[in-house]
Amino acid sequence: MSGASKIQDPIQKKKSKHPQGSSGKVRVEVDTMGNIDVPVDRYFGAQTARSLINFDIGEDRMPRSVIRAFGILKQAAAETNVELKSLDRKIGSLISQACDEVISGELDIHFPLRIWQTGSGTQTNMNANEVIANRAIEIAGGMLGSKSPVHPNDHVNLAQSSNDTFPTAMHIAAAEEIQHRLIPSVEKLRIELSKKSEEFSEIVKIGRTHLMDAVPLTLGQEFSAYVSMLESNQIRIQSAMSDLFELALGGTAVGTGLNAHPEFANLVADKIAKKTDLPFSSAENKFAQLAAHDAVVAASGSLNTLAGSLMKIANDIRWLGSGPRCGFGEISLPANEPGSSIMPGKVNPTQSEAMTMVCCQVMGNHTAISIGGSQGNFELNVFKPMMIHNLLHSIRLLSDSCISFSDRCISGIEANQNKISEHLENSLMLVTSLNPHIGYDNAAKIAKNAYENGLTLRQSAIQLELLNDEEFDLWVRPEKMLGPN
């Protein structure tokens, strides 16, 4: 059985201009381990083929954003090497053309590798080198697998190592996804919650602490907490991104920069910054960039905090909307779909449920990232693919769920004024407003008597002869209990 017979192409949703073949034909490629069969219509080479055989683990494939990041960094490296006269201009141009197709996603089908591979990401770096080299060879009119005129190691990987390219791709991918996907999604949700906070600003309701009745606030004030939480999370996420903007490229194998031009690191970082329109720069200490991934752990930590905030918000929303007749029922949630296969007419808080599941997953992802980040040994951390996979998974889930929660839940929330008023009037905690007038002990007597005898606060106060009607009306006014007085 040939080596290629065990290579299976991934199921691809994105169409490529280089479609999957069905002929079963192969070509022979060579690496330091010897010959191996590769599908004739694939740009990847021997090392990718071996990885498909050796790491047939799970279904998690390298995220598209990482592949795009490799296209960006390989193109920037080729341009830098040409500028430094380390690479022939014609070869550099061929590499750059192939990289354009990697960046755009046209060659996605040629990147089949899974997350569960070497912890340095070497196979994915070589996957990129091989695909870019073979596509460049094809553009030049050469033969796939010939390594001429473009060699995957000598040219595409010039002045690089898997140990500095993969961390660089991690940072590029994470920063782009946070900047262009997560931040706009969180802002969309924040704006929608802010609209509701303003809309509900005059609706006085009972507060709850320890899940028990407390003093009043407005529904708008309650929602303002959610807005403030998201604003704080936005600041934390932006702060965490600053570390992602430091790049390892130029550190090569262990951080010393062996085999790279002295000016390579700064020049290539500048080019990456221009290509992404993000403030990337060369990391001052590349030993740390290879051996530890604190920036990734910190970024994940900011997402973990966001997940904690969203969990609280989603839980509050579904509790406030519980009912419709036997729950709190203080807000009405949009009815998006039938809620039960057996109970007719039931509608469930499904957007809150989806959001809370996402938050659980993000917290789990962060746990794995934290453990992975702690496992650097000497000059290299070898948990890189898992860490970036989990981080990008968290970014995507949070981004999508914020949009869904905003569009299909928050925007359609309505206040149930009747239920809110009912709860407010029945609450014993309005007695707190009497503390300055009759003292804590007397106020407590009124509340206790009302609770034990099924009375209203007014009835209890008059029965105990601690207040008259006029005094009660003057001092127990929920709308006057909404701030310092």
Residues designated catalytic: 210, 340
Task: Tell me the two tokens of residue 19.
Answer: 């479609």
- Please report, as a single letter, which amino acid is at residue 482: L
Cβ partners under 8 Å of residue 470, min gap 6? none
- How far CA 135 is from CA of 18, 110, 312, in Å, comes to 11, 10, 50
CB 366 within 8 A of CB 386: no
CB 253 within 8 A of CB 163: yes
| Residue in 235, 241, 244 with CA at minimum distance from that of residue 190 | 235
Tell me the HSE value of 250 on the side-chain side, using a 13 A CA sphere: 23
Length of the chain measured in residues: 485
Q: Phi first, then psi: what are they for 36, rounded to 5°?
A: -155, 145
214: alpha, beta or left? (left if phi > 0; alpha if psi -120 to 50): beta
| Residue in 250, 241, 244, 246 with CA at minimum distance from that of residue 281 | 246
Cβ partners under 8 Å of residue 134, min gap 6? 43, 44, 45, 144, 145, 152
Using only the alpha carbons of the chain, give its radius of gyration: 30
CB 217 within 8 A of CB 480: no
Q: Sign (positive/negative) of CA torsion 182, 188, 192, 195?
A: positive
